[in-house]
């Protein structure tokens, strides 16, 4: 059964094309802040890559925040543009909001406003803020999803690392009740995290709350995405694993059959995790997928074996000399696994980072630094354990303490790894445009910096004032600063590019870092409004 699950995933892999990382918005039609004389017949959202979008991914609201009935969602521009037809629109303000899924499974959302004619009601700032917030998803759902990823990774390393530990290093533990409970606990953790993850992904994509994660109609939408398909495939493999774990049947298999079952089910499960994340996005995908699989496997051997050593052997009442003998054998295996983890992790980090500045300037880079530091501390403690078990007359109590400390640090590493999976890779931050929208009073200020990397960049500023229609915009100005390098007041030479749209082309940004973009908009003679954006340039 595990082999059948693996075959299913191989077929999925063949159909899973590599792509970029988080999708970035390129344009909207009507454009943000546009005042139209005639009502448009459709709304279009264009991204830099093909995105996954379900029915309702693009929504249109009137000035009171009431959702309008739109036509069926369609695609254009090679699948990068999403379109919906619009009903007959009266004069007034309107909001187009979207919530789609990038190639790496992460939701992307946003909203823009525009108005038709000179009459009717304008969109209030409160309505726009609510729609922008819903387009960005809910923090409670994101937090629950992060916890679910920690549980999923912990279950994976414990189930397969513990399984391999028993087969290769401690066959005497096969059939022991505490070992069975440990493996079943890991299996349940993976199953629960997978099922919950499908619901949380569906709620996150739709911009809904935690309560909606259990609604079948919401979950059904995510099953048509790659994330949903890989989640279902993981459940199929887990059913096959349950058949082996039931009454310890795997322990009665021939040694070669047992190894084959563990290897097939482990690779199949790891594939579902790998293909749901960053490995199939960005550059060097042909190298990234196998390296990620090996990285996951080596992590399971080390960290899962560590837990089995602590709970199954050292804390299980085993004879002291026998327990130390098992610990010595494991130290050799763990040393090899750590070397593999270091090599594969370095390749993955190099693939995602766009220079060393990405370690400082992006969330992905900062999380990667934290993970490396935690692993370094973990290796130091592991070195103490290795010295204890390698020395003559090793003290079993001291070994328990150091292995216990290793296990706690391993839990921290898994937690940071779960956050890394959700972080936008540093390279994608540099190759995509930076875009953000902020409300300043009643004015929505939208800025796009493309590309967000050193060299010549284009800066676009879109303005919309739902309450006043921006009928008296006099001027817009902006400056870039990089305080860490003592650079201040780099003027952005905006030119008028259309109604409520200002642009500056080929502005030279020479240094990487977190630049401060200060935008000042003057409405009328005296009403001046200023807002600040932090733009990561890589």
Give the DSSP letter of residue 500: T
**Residue 55: pLDDT band with limits 50, 70, 90:** low
Q: Which CATH architecture has domain 433-537?
A: Sandwich (2.60)
Least confident of 11-25, 90-104, 270-284, 368-382: 11-25
Give the DSSP letter of residue 122: P
Assess whether pLDDT exceeds 60 at residue 29.
Answer: yes
291-312 confidence digits (pLDDT tens):
888 988 998 998 898 888 888 8
Hey, how many other C-beta atoms are within 10 angstroms of the C-beta on 224? 11
Q: How many whole angstroms from its chain centre is CA 332?
A: 34
Assess whether pLDDT exceeds 90 at residue 189.
Answer: yes
Dihedral (CA of 505, 509, 512, 516) sign: negative
Residue range 491-519: mean pLDDT, rounded: 78
CA distances 140 to 28, 99, 166, Å, are 29, 17, 39
Average pLDDT value for the chain: 76
Backbone angles phi and psi of 527, in degrees to 5: -85, 100
Assess whether pLDDT exceeds 50 at residue 5.
Answer: no
Q: Are strands 527-537 and 513-523 parallel, antiparallel or unpaired?
A: antiparallel
* 401: Cα within 13 Å, side-chain hemisphere: 7
Identify which has the larger pLDDT, 115 or 39. Answer: 39
Assess whether pLDDT exceeds 70 at residue 2.
Answer: no
Assess whether pLDDT exceeds 80 at residue 111.
Answer: no
pLDDT reported for residue 430 = 46
Identify which has the larger pLDDT, 430 or 370. Answer: 370
Residue range 140-157: mean pLDDT, rounded: 86
Assess whether pLDDT exceeds 90 at residue 155.
Answer: yes
pLDDT reported for residue 263 = 85
pLDDT reported for residue 28 = 80
Residue range 462-485: mean pLDDT, rounded: 65
- This model's pTM is above 0.85: no
Q: Are strands 92-101 and 81-85 parallel, antiparallel or unpaired?
A: unpaired
Sheet containing 495-498: give its strands across: 434-440, 443-450, 455-464, 501-509, 495-498
pLDDT reported for residue 127 = 67
> Helices (DSSP H) in 105-254: which residue ranges?
125-135, 139-168, 177-206, 216-222, 226-245
194-239 confidence digits (pLDDT tens):
999 888 887 776 666 787 787 887 677 777 777 888 899 999 999 9
pLDDT reported for residue 523 = 65
**Residue 183: pLDDT band with limits 50, 70, 90:** very high
**Residue 184: pLDDT band with limits 50, 70, 90:** very high
Assess whether pLDDT exceeds 80 at residue 319.
Answer: no
**Residue 469: pLDDT band with limits 50, 70, 90:** very low
Identify which has the larger pLDDT, 454 or 355. Answer: 454
d(CA 4, CA 347): 31
d(CA 308, CA 171): 12
21-135 in CATH: which number?
2.60.40.1220
Assess whether pLDDT exceeds 70 at residue 92.
Answer: yes
pLDDT reported for residue 158 = 92
Q: Are strands 443-450 and 81-85 parallel, antiparallel or unpaired?
A: unpaired
59-72 confidence digits (pLDDT tens):
888 877 788 888 88
**Quick check: helix, strand or coil at residue 498?**
strand
477-494 confidence digits (pLDDT tens):
888 888 877 777 788 888
Assess whether pLDDT exceeds 50 at residue 16.
Answer: no
Hey, how many other C-beta atoms are within 10 angstroms of the C-beta on 246? 10
Backbone angles phi and psi of 289, in degrees to 5: -65, -55
Does the bond joining 30 to the residue before it have cis omega, within 30 degrees of 0? yes
Answer yes or no: are the C-beta atoms of 282 and 103 closer than 8 Å.
Answer: no
The pair of structure tokens assigned to 460 is 């676009």
């Amino acid at each position: 059964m595990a082999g059948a699950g693996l075959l299913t995933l191989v077929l999925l892999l063949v159909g899973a094309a590599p792509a970029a990382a988080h999708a970035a918005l390129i344009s909207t039609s009507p454009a943000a802040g546009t005042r139209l004389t005639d009502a448009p017949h459709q709304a279009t959202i264009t991204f830099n890559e093909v995105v996954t979008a379900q029915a309702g991914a693009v929504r249109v609201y009137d000035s009171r925040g009431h959702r309008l009935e739109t036509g069926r969602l369609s695609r254009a521009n090679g699948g990068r543009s999403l379109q919906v037809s619009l009903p007959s629109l009266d004069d007034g303000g309107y909001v187009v909001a979207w919530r789609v899924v990038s190639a790496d499974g992460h939701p992307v959302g946003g909203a823009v406003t525009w108005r038709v004619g000179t009459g009717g009601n304008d969109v209030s700032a409160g309505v726009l803020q609510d729609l922008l917030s819903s387009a960005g998803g809910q923090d409670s759902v994101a937090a629950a999803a992060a916890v679910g990823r920690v549980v999923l990774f912990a279950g994976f390393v414990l189930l397969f690392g513990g399984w391999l530990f028993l087969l290769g290093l401690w066959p005497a533990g096969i059939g022991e009740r505490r070992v069975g409970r440990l493996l079943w606990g890991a299996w349940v953790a993976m199953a629960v995290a997978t099922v919950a993850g499908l619901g949380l992904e569906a709620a996150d994509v739709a911009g809904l709350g935690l309560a909606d994660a259990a609604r079948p109609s919401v979950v059904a939408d995510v099953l048509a995405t790659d994330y949903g398909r890989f989640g279902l495939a993981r459940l199929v493999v887990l059913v096959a694993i349950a058949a082996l774990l039931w009454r310890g049947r795997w322990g009665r298999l021939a040694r070669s059959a047992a190894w084959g079952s563990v290897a097939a089910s482990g690779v199949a499960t790891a594939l579902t995790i790998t293909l749901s994340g960053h490995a199939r996005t960005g550059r060097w995908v042909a190298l990234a997928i196998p390296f990620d699989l090996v990285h996951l496997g080596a992590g399971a051997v080390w960290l899962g074996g560590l837990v089995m050593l602590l709970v199954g052997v050292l804390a299980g009442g085993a004879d002291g000399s026998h327990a130390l003998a098992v610990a010595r054998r494991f130290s050799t295996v763990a040393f090899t696994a750590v070397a593999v983890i270091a090599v594969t992790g370095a390749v993955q980090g190099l693939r995602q980072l766009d220079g060393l500045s990405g370690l400082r300037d992006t969330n992905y880079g900062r999380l990667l630094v934290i993970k490396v530091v935690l692993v370094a501390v973990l290796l130091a403690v592991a070195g103490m354990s290795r010295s204890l078990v390698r020395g003559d007359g090793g003290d079993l109590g001291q070994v328990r303490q150091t292995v216990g400390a290793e296990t706690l640090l391993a839990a921290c590493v898994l937690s940071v790894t779960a956050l890394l999976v959700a972080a936008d890779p540093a390279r994608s931050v540099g190759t995509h445009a930076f875009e953000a929208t902020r409300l300043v009073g009643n004015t929505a200020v939208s800025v796009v910096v493309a590309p967000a990397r050193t060299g010549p960049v284009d800066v676009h500023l879109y303005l919309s004032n739902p309450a006043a229609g921006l009928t008296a915009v006099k001027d817009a100005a902006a400056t870039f600063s990089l305080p860490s390098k003592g650079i201040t007041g780099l003027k952005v030479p905006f030119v008028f590019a259309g109604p409520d749209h200002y642009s500056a082309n080929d502005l030279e940004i020479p240094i990487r870092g977190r630049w401060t973009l200060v935008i000042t908009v003057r409405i009328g003679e005296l009403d001046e409004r200023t807002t600040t954006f932090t733009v990561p340039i890589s």
